[in-house]
Amino acid sequence: MDKITFSQALNGYELYFNARHLSKNTFNDYFNTFNKFLDFLGTDPPIDKITSKDIEAFLADQDHLANKTLLNYHTGLSALWTWCVREDMVNEHIVQKVDRPKPEQPEIQPYTKGDVRALLSALKKSKVYLRPGMKESKNTLQTADRNRAIILLLLDTGVRSSELCQVLMHHTDLKNREIIVMGKGRKERILPFCARTGQALWRYLASRREDSADDFLFVTEVHNPFDRHYLRRMLSRIGERAGVNRVGVHRFRHTFAINYLRNGGDPFSLQRLLGHSTMEMVKRYLNIVQADLTKNHKLASPVDNWRL
């Protein structure tokens, strides 16, 4: 049998991937990596002739990218080679010989109460604009109820952007105040939300009475389903109007987690709500909350304040 080239292996892996009904976002991320690696190789070699040195050289060539992105590249290539080993296309898992890039740990900056109030106050009107010979103007936005429901749901549940975009109408239970989301690995989670968030969802859904239960919960102005990029751009524009920097879904997730712990929630429940497979990220949130307690104790200690 002729040697299987890298691109031929990708065709087979795509069929395997689709047969397993895995995440479209994961598919796009993986194949973006594979195509970049193929461009880097410059040819389409037999896959069993590619070595760990090729993988190392590819990752080293991406020195303009963050380590988190490099880790994603490593993960995608590792998944491909795991499949190739299982299919007897290669004799060894070369990616396992390459050290996993260690992602930087960016500072976690949750929103303040003032930030969130500013965002909610910026939903009804567009940015100020000028027309020749006329006063400054603003447009009334028809998406205010939808966007308020989105912001409150993000803040109240810590849901991921990809999960939020995939919520269907019948996944939303206003009576019991719960939504069902499909997390990583196609694992379902039930996320509770409070009455205020439920009220915002009810107001938004009042405009969707004619829609099917199988429709997506959040749709664009032309009734297309959301995707992560649309959601990110939408939140960024709201942030610009509100004067809040770095507005994005992950900061809502951080804000939910930190306030959950500050207000007495236990870390193991938080892990389940966030859909994390390990406690690693929850421990980072715990460290922030502990630092808050230490700072507050210094301010409130009666022994120190009374100078006993």
The predicted pLDDT at position 304 comes to: 67
Residues 240, 117 share a domain: yes
The predicted pLDDT at position 214 comes to: 92
Distance, CA of 175 to CA of 291 (rounded, Å): 38
Q: Identify whether 307 is part of a domain.
A: no
Residues 45, 88 share a domain: yes
Q: Last residue of a domain, which of 69, 97, 125?
A: 97
What distances in angstroms separate CA 136 from CA 35, 67, 123, one per listed residue? 48, 45, 18
Q: Identify whether 297 is part of a domain.
A: no
Query: What global pTM score does this model have?
Result: 0.70
Our count of domains for the chain comes to 2
Residues 57, 13 share a domain: yes
Residues 121, 20 share a domain: no
Residues 71, 175 share a domain: no
Structural domain harbouring 219: 113-247
- Contact status, residue 55 vs residue 41, Cβ threshold 8 Å: no
CATH number of 22's domain: 1.10.150.130
| Core vs surface per residue 155-183: b (16+ CB within 10 A) or e | bbbbbbbbbbbbbbeebbeeeebebebbb
Q: Identify whether 287 is part of a domain.
A: no
Residues 158, 241 share a domain: yes
Residues 59, 151 share a domain: no
- Contact status, residue 108 vs residue 288, Cβ threshold 8 Å: yes
Residues 93, 166 share a domain: no
Amino acid at 278: T
Sequential pLDDT tens for the chain (308 residues): 468 999 999 999 999 988 887 778 888 999 999 999 999 999 999 999 999 999 999 999 988 888 889 999 999 999 999 999 999 999 999 999 999 988 777 778 899 999 999 999 999 988 876 666 666 667 888 999 999 999 999 999 999 999 999 999 999 999 999 999 988 777 899 999 999 999 999 999 998 988 899 999 999 999 999 988 999 999 999 999 999 999 999 999 999 999 999 888 999 999 999 998 888 889 988 888 888 777 776 776 666 666 66
